[in-house]
Amino acid sequence: MAGLATTLCGVSLRNPIVAAAGTAGYGPEIAEVVPASTFGAIVTKSITPESRDGNPPWRVVDLPAGMFNAIGLANVGLDRFMAGILPELGTLDTVVIGSIAGHTLEDYVAVAAGFGDPAAEAIRLIEVNVSCPNTATGRLFGDDPGLLADVVAAVVERTGGKPVLVKLSPGSAGVPDLAEIAVRSGAAGVTLANTMPAMAIDPETRRSRIGRAAGGLSGPAVHPIAVRLVHETRRRFEDAGLAASIVGLGGVLSWRDAAEFTLVGADAIGIGTGLFVDPRLPRRILRGLEGWVRRQRVAGLTDLQGGFQA
Ligand SMILES: Cc1cc2nc3c(=O)[nH]c(=O)nc-3n(C[C@H](O)[C@H](O)[C@H](O)COP(=O)(O)O)c2cc1C
pLDDT band, very low/low/confident/very high, at 168 (cuts 50, 70, 90): very high
Which one of 17, 18, 23 would you pick to mutate in the ligand 1 pocket, going by the greatest count of ligand atoms within 8 A of its CB?
23
Q: 169: CA distance to ligand 1 center in Å?
A: 11
Residues 292 and 87: their CA atoms lie apart, in Å, by: 37
Confidence of residue 134 (pLDDT cuts 50, 70, 90): confident
Residues noted as catalytic: 132
* Confidence category of residue 310, pLDDT binned at 50, 70, 90: confident
209 phi, psi to nearest 5 deg: -75, -10
Confidence of residue 220 (pLDDT cuts 50, 70, 90): very high
Q: Is residue 233 predicted with pLDDT exceeding 90?
A: yes
Q: What is the pLDDT of residue 135?
A: 86
With CA atoms as reference, report the closest residue to 116 among 106, 104, 107, 124.
Answer: 124
> What is the identity of the amino acid at 264?
V
Arithmetic mean of pLDDT, 30-57: 97
Q: What predicted TM-score, i.e. pTM, was given to this entire model?
A: 0.98
HSE toward the beta carbon, residue 278, CA cutoff 13 A = 10
What is the pLDDT at residue 92? 98
Confidence of residue 48 (pLDDT cuts 50, 70, 90): very high
Inform me whether the pLDDT recorded for 171 exceeds 80. yes
pLDDT tens string 291-307: 999 999 999 999 999 99
**22 in contact with ligand 1, CB cutoff 6 A:** yes
- Residue 274 near ligand 1, beta carbon < 6 Å: yes
d(C-alpha 278, C-alpha 81), whole Å: 27
Asked if residue 95 lies in contact with residue 11, where contact means CB atoms within 8 angstroms, the answer is yes
Q: pLDDT, tens digit, for every residue of 236-272?
A: 999 999 999 999 999 999 999 999 999 999 999 999 9
23: Cβ–Cβ under 8 A, 6 or more apart, which residues?
271, 272, 273, 275, 276
99 lines ligand 1 (CB under 6 A): yes
